[in-house]
Amino acid sequence: MEQLGSTAVFLFVLFLLLGSGVWVGLALLGVAFVGVELFTTRPAGDSMITTVWTSSSSWALTALPLFIWMGEILYRTRLSADMFRGLAPWMAPLPGGLLHTNIVGCTVFAAVSGSSAATLTTVGKMSIPELRARGYPERMTIGTLAGAATLGLMIPPSLTLIVYGVTTNESITRLFIAGIVPGLVLAVLFMAYVVIWSFLFRSQMPPREPPSSLGHKLKNSRFLIPVILLILLVIGSMYVGLATATEAAAFGVLGSLLLAAGQGSLSWRTFGESLMGATRTSAMIALILSGAAFLSLSMGFTGLPRSLANWIGSLELSRLELLAALLGFYILIGCFLDGISSVVLTMAVVEPMIQQAGIDPIWFGIFVVVVVEMAQITPPVGFNLFVLQGMTTHGMGYIARAALPMFCIMVVMVALLVAYPELATWLPRNMRQGPGS
């Protein structure tokens, strides 16, 4: 009964603060402060100061602002235009034509930006006008872009995986490597959907692009070389054990600065804008992480996470039943919270459950990210939907319906992960171990 009362207090204060419009990070700090004051004899202020400092000074967290800065620098380059020019000749002959540039473009940019919103904005600002001008169906243009942009959360460097790794004390490098194959499989599923749709609705497809020669394709491919080299530098250095996630992030920042300078996009103005953009985003995430760390401590004092885990254990759910319950749980809270907030808010309770069930925490990190991706395209707080609404002026309902098939494909991806866990665990098991990995 005592645990039930403390749970009710935590939830009441949390929803009260979130409903009043308080920032998520401050809401978490407020809930934790109330919990320590009501249910423990420890000084709440001292506990909060110690926890906030400890969580903010984590070395693993250093990768976060660096990867965000890398994405901010590349967002201000001509990368989207260059990617479209490089990909279009190769994508045009495929069934579905240039719709595939949305998916492949998002996949490529996701590998140099850990943000779904940055991926969506960068690829969308070039592909939407081009596909409209060529007469591609608006709903497919928007739907494929909304779904494929979520790959920014899966394919390394992923900000959500960094947050998950810091929250659960798992290796960020191993989490990054674990996300590669599932991310590519999800991209292939998106492309397969476009192919099938193009065969079923041939009348809605525009005329095929004029065929281009191999020489023309190879000539245009030169625009992809800089970003591919940057991807190899960041991901390759981690996989072969030459760099930790933080060191790879530093390489990525230097590489993106060189790429921007080579394109003539680097100026003191863009440099300052990218730095301030990264600072704002990093500060927001750091505040959420600090609040989540204090909330975890507060709930730990009450014994709530362990009690809930024991209660779940007493239900004797199978691994599949537990994962199905967590899938529904994360989809539900994803309708109201962004992905990073969903992860940090729930891990204190969910982590003991998965440990007790014997679920691999690296695999579970990928599982959570796929489900969090779904939240990016589900109303009422699907962030990708808001971004697309601003870019296209379509209503939220129209964009959500356009993205619905992509949501269903992500459900299929979850099923594949459950059926074939090696999709997420094989690469991390076979990577070379570098110092600090």
Tell me: the pLDDT tens digits for 41-82? 778 787 888 887 877 777 767 888 888 888 888 878 777 778
Asked if 109 and 122 count as a contact pair (C-beta separation under 8 A), the reply is yes
383 pLDDT band (50/70/90 cuts)? confident
Q: Which residues of 361-371 are buried (b: 16+ CB within 10 A; e: fewer)?
A: bbbbbbbbbbb
Domain coverage including residue 145: 30-35+43-429
SS3 label, residue 8 = helix
pTM, to two decimals: 0.81
User: Is residue 85 very low, low, confident or very high in pLDDT (cuts 50, 70, 90)?
Assistant: confident
- Cα separation of 39 and 81, whole Å? 56
Answer whether residue 223 is part of any domain: yes
Question: With 80 as the cut, is the pLDDT of residue 21 above it?
Answer: no
Q: Residue 6 domain-assigned?
A: no
Predicted pLDDT of residue 437? 47
**How high does pLDDT run on average in the chain?**
83
Max mean pLDDT range (21-30, 106-115, 314-323, 400-409): 400-409
In a domain, 411, yes or no: yes
**Residue 18 resides in a domain:** no
Q: Are 28 and 297 in contact (CB under 8 A)?
A: no
Residues 366, 155: contact at Cβ < 8 Å?
A: no
Tens-digit pLDDT profile for residues 183-206: 999 999 999 999 999 999 988 888
CA gap 379, 146 in Å, rounded: 13
Confidence of residue 113 (pLDDT cuts 50, 70, 90): confident
Q: How many structural domains are present in the chain?
A: 1
- The answer to whether residue 23 scores a pLDDT higher than 50 is yes
Residue 11 lies in a domain: no
| 366 is a domain residue | yes
Distance from C-alpha of 106 to C-alpha of 152, rounded to nearest angstrom: 7
SS3 readout for 332-377: HHHCCCCHHHHHHHHHHHHHHHHHHCCCCHHHHHHHHHHHHHHHCC
The secondary structure of 288-314 as a DSSP string is HHHHHHHHHHHHHHHTHHHHHHHHHHH
In a domain, 437, yes or no: no
Q: How large is the average pLDDT for residues 386-415?
A: 88
Task: Confirm whether 304 is domain-assigned.
Answer: yes
The residue to which tokens 């080299």 are assigned: 229
- Each residue of 266-287: pLDDT tens digit? 888 989 998 998 888 888 878 8
